[in-house]
Chain A
Amino acid sequence: MNVEQIVEATLFASQTPLAADEIARADENLVAEIVVEAIQALRDAYEKSERAFQIYQLGDGYQILTRPEYAPYLERFDSVPRAPHLSPAALETLAIIAYRNPIGRIEIEEVRGVSASSVLRTLLDWELVDVVGRGEGLGRPLLYGVTRKFLEHFGLKDLSDLPASDELPVVLGELQQAMEAESEVPDEVEPAPQGETEGETS
């Protein structure tokens, strides 16, 4: 049995990312660790032989994708509709959810300064976010988190692929601490008291 070929055949035949344990179903003797090793060996081989494709990790799954330098050629074949670009409002909301995972709607609206219910519905429809739990506050608000599909859409392995908060140009530092002192509820899930009052009266 040649593990690399089995893994390669499975990845080749799939149109969606496959997790290592999913690939391991191809044979009784396969386990996820061996699959991951085989994938690494395949990656090296593709690199060395200058294949036009490579195995990429998207979320917890692996998928054979073309290398970006061949995009101009493939873009001429626009017969298959591609995923639409997300609107600025959707990106803004996703950014907040990705970094504040899990987070409630009112907190998202606090950050954006605008209503988030319709954009949240869209993101739920596209399965880019999902309800991941309920908060502690009044009415036990729904908490949202990003999904595997989010990682696939943005080509990320996991959320740590995104730059850490303090690596971004705008760093939230001592100001936030100053404001947190005013907040009586330490729980991150709770919206700031002032924001909550404003949300309810409006």
Chain B
Amino acid sequence: MSPGAPSRDTVTRTVEPFQVSLERFSGPLDLLLHLIRSQDIDIFDIPISRITGQFVGALEEGLEAMPIERAGEFLEMAAHLVRIKAQLLLPRPEQPDWEEDPRAELVRRLLEFEHFQDVVHVLEGAEAQRGRHFAKGYVGSRPAPALAPVELELTLADFLSAAARIPEPAPPLEIRPPSQTVTVDEKVSLLRRLLGKAKRVSFDRLFRPWGTRAHAVASLLAALELARQQVLRIEQARPFASIWLLAGEREPTAVAPDTTETAEGTG
């Protein structure tokens, strides 16, 4: 708006010598009082127009960075100043009573505020003074003594005797590969031979004498292979019970003789 622009310029110009950071001030009264006192203005005859300009100018700088509630407090004062300014323009009696001066209430508040600023200084002084007296317990409990660096008290003999106490390193654990291999065919031969003698064979019987996992695996595969060929049936009464291998319909002896010999050789 064109009418607003020139007036803002005047405001900026007049406020320039009083660049103030709003954060410094506890509130609008503090700022107002600063503007008045820093310019040696007679508080009983405040040039409202000039002060309002400076006040608004200061707000333009820092209002946006303020929390909204605090900004509102400054704006309320700005509005109040503008209202007083307007009231001063109204015609007044020749010899106005002080009470009828629109500025009177503001001046009263400013003086009251300034009065309490004096009290604040008194309290600050009292607080600082009190801070110079210390009560029992101020000097804290004795801290744990810092560990002094210990001199090394070790002779070569100590070192050697300590070294002698270190046991010999244990021999590395030997892990031998299985020395014997076992084939499924060997187990098949064994199974056929056993079934030739008896109607039924305990599954355990096929590997228990050797006791190794390889024999168990080979035995299982042999049993499954013969079961597939319907040479035998596998029965187990319940989970984890003994497994029985029973001779089936096909003749268990129908086997290559050389394989049987190999199996017997292993056993």
Give A residues with C-beta under 8 Å from B.
Answer: 12, 14-16, 56, 63-68, 70-71, 74, 77, 79-80, 82-83, 85-86, 88-89, 91-92, 94-96, 98-99, 110-115, 153-156, 161-163, 165, 168-172, 175-176, 178-179, 181-182, 194, 198, 202
Contacts and interface: CB of A to CB of B under 8 A. Distances in A.
Contacts of B118: 168-170
B46 to A, nearest CB: 13
A95 B123 CA distance: 7
A94 B123 contact: yes
B113 A113 contact: yes
A163 B122 contact: yes
Contact of B116 (A80, A95, A179): A95
A163 B116 CA distance: 12
For B26, B76, B107, which residue has the most chain A Cβ atoms within 10 angstroms?
A: B26
A112 B107 CA distance: 14
Interface of B: 26-30, 69-70, 72-73, 76-77, 98-99, 104-105, 107-109, 111-120, 122-124, 126-127, 129-140, 143
Contact of A95 (B99, B119, B138): B119
Nearest to B141: A79
Classify the secondary structure of B's interface with A: helix
A156 B105 contact: no
Given A68-B129, A154-B126, 15 more contacts: A65-B134, A80-B137, A94-B123, A111-B109, A111-B113, A113-B109, A155-B127, A165-B115, A168-B119, A170-B111, A172-B111, A176-B112, A178-B108, A198-B76, A202-B76
Contacts, number: 147
16 contacts: A56-B133, A71-B132, A85-B127, A91-B124, A110-B109, A112-B116, A113-B28, A113-B30, A114-B27, A153-B127, A153-B130, A155-B130, A162-B119, A168-B118, A178-B108, A194-B105
